[in-house]
Homo-oligomer: A and B are copies of this chain.
Amino acid sequence: MASDSPKQHWSTAEEEIMEATYRALLKHGYADLSISRIADELDKSKAAIYYHYDTKDDLLVAFLEFAVDRFEETIETETGDEPPEDLEHVIEKLLPLQPDEEQRQLQAVLVGLRSQAVTNEVFREQFTQIDERLAATVRSIVECGIDDDTFRDVDPSRVAEHILATVNGAMYGRVTTDRKSAAAAARVSLASYIDSELRCRS
């Protein structure tokens, strides 16, 4: 009974399948993900999965949405009225100095999915949107800071892309290399850039 209507909510069974897919991805990676392996992580049979999803591709697209939702939950943040602190706050959410295991796992899964965006259009559109939203968030904070003379008169969208690329790159390095302190070093340097190049000297 896989409907193609815009669903915001998942049934219990569907949520269990998504959770099982998550575990299977962590264990085997995207390239070695199979319906059987998802069923192994599930208290149900392989065919039960096909009761809820017509094809493996359908399931994967649903899971992409599931993972993206989870990612956007973890970075939800209310912006205040002090741009430098807001920026710091957003960056800490995206690239914590000491990430917990849960967030590391989610990022590992997302990197696996994102690599599919090279070949798969549906995936690429999804990650294009994610980056678009993140860039917009950062840009609006920078614009805010320029308006109230906290920040200098820089190009907000260029600076936003710079910050986003740095954060994405550091996160990417964190899950694909053993260079333990690299991400934190990049973040510290980024913070000092914000503080001394971006902030007004007054």
Contact = CB atoms under 8 A, between A and B. Distances in A.
A184 to B, nearest CB: 8
B135 A177 contact: no
A196 interface: yes
A144 interface: no
Given A111-B115, A119-B29, A162-B186, A168 B172 contact: yes
A155 interface: yes
A176 B169 CA distance: 13
Nearest to A107: B118
A190 interface: yes
A118 B132 CA distance: 25
A177 B118 contact: no
Contacts of A173: 131, 164-165, 168
6 contacts: A29-B120, A30-B31, A117-B175, A117-B177, A159-B189, A165-B167
Q: Which 10 pairs show the lowest CB-CB distances between chains A and B?
A: A169-B169, A115-B115, A162-B189, A165-B169, A168-B169, A29-B119, A165-B186, A161-B185, A117-B176, A165-B170
